[in-house]
C-alpha cells in the first residue's frame, strides 16, 4: 500500500497490486498476491507498507479500533483497554500510531461491521488492513483462536451501540 494525499488533509492508504504496480481492489482477487511477492515489491518499489486482505476462506477476522491510543500519555481509551484485556492475540498499531489492529482466527458475527460512535470495526472479507509490524508490547506473535471474544466485541461495541443509538433517537422524536 502507499500513502497518498487525500481530500481535506486526510491521507489515503491505497492498496497496490505488487505484480502490476496498479491499484488493487478488495473485491478483485486477481489484484492481490502472496506475502513474498508483496514484501519484494515493498522493498523494490518503495511502497509505504504491506497490507493484509481479509477473505472468508482465510478464517481470520480483524478488529480495528481507531483513535484509541494517546501517544503523549501512552494510554489507551477504555474501549481499547477492555478489548485488549479480553483475549491475548496478535495486535499491532495502525499507521497513525493512534489506533490498533487485532487479529483472531474465527468467524465474524452477523449484523454489521462498523460503529463510528465507538470507533470499532470488524472485518472478515472484502477489506484490507495496512500492516505496520509495530506490535503492541506484550502481545503474542501468533493469531489466537477466538474464544468468544469476537461475539463479545460485536455485541458490546458494534451492534449494541447502534441499537441504543436508534432507541435514543426514537425517544427524541416521541
Which of these is catalytic: 34, 101, 145, 154?
101
- In this structure, what is the dihedral angle of CA atoms 118, 153, 104, 26, given to the nearest 10 degrees? -50
Q: Distance between CA atoms of 90 and 101, rounded to whole angstroms?
A: 8
Which of these is catalytic: 11, 57, 121, 137?
121
- Residue 101 known to be catalytic: yes
Q: What is the 3-state secondary structure (H, E, C) of 49-112?
A: CEEEEECHHHCEEEEEECCCEECCCCEECHHHHHHHHHCCCCEEECCCCCCEEEEEECCCCCCC
Question: Could you tell me which of 171, 174, 144, 164 has the C-alpha nearest to residue 59?
Answer: 144
Q: Distance between CA atoms of 36 and 137, rounded to whole angstroms?
A: 26
Which of these is catalytic: 19, 34, 57, 64?
64
- Residue 121 known to be catalytic: yes
Which of these is catalytic: 66, 124, 146, 154?
66
Q: Phi and psi at residue 69, in whole multiples of 5°?
A: -125, 130
Q: How far is CA 25 from the centre of its chain?
A: 16
Active-site residue set: 64, 66, 101, 121
Amino acid at each position: 500500500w502507499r500513502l497518498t494525499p487525500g481530500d481535506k488533509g486526510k491521507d489515503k492508504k491505497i492498496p497496490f497490486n505488487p505484480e502490476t504496480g496498479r491499484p488493487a481492489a478488495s473485491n478483485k482477487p486477481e489484484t492481490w498476491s502472496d506475502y513474498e511477492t508483496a514484501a519484494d515489491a515493498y522493498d523494490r518499489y518503495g511502497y509505504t507498507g504491506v497490507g493484509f486482505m481479509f477473505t472468508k476462506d482465510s478464517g481470520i477476522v480483524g478488529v480495528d479500533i481507531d483513535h484509541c491510543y494517546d501517544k503523549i500519555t501512552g494510554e489507551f481509551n477504555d474501549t481499547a483497554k477492555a478489548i485488549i484485556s479480553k483475549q491475548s492475540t496478535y495486535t499491532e498499531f495502525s499507521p497513525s500510531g493512534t489506533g490498533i489492529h487485532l487479529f483472531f482466527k474465527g468467524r465474524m458475527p452477523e449484523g454489521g461491521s462498523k460503529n463510528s460512535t465507538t470507533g470499532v470495526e470488524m472485518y472478515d472479507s472484502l477489506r484490507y488492513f495496512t500492516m505496520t509490524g509495530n506490535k503492541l508490547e506484550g502481545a503474542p506473535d501468533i493469531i489466537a483462536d477466538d474464544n468468544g471474544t469476537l461475539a463479545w466485541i460485536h455485541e458490546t461495541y458494534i451492534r449494541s451501540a447502534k441499537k441504543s443509538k436508534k432507541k435514543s433517537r426514537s425517544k427524541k422524536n416521541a
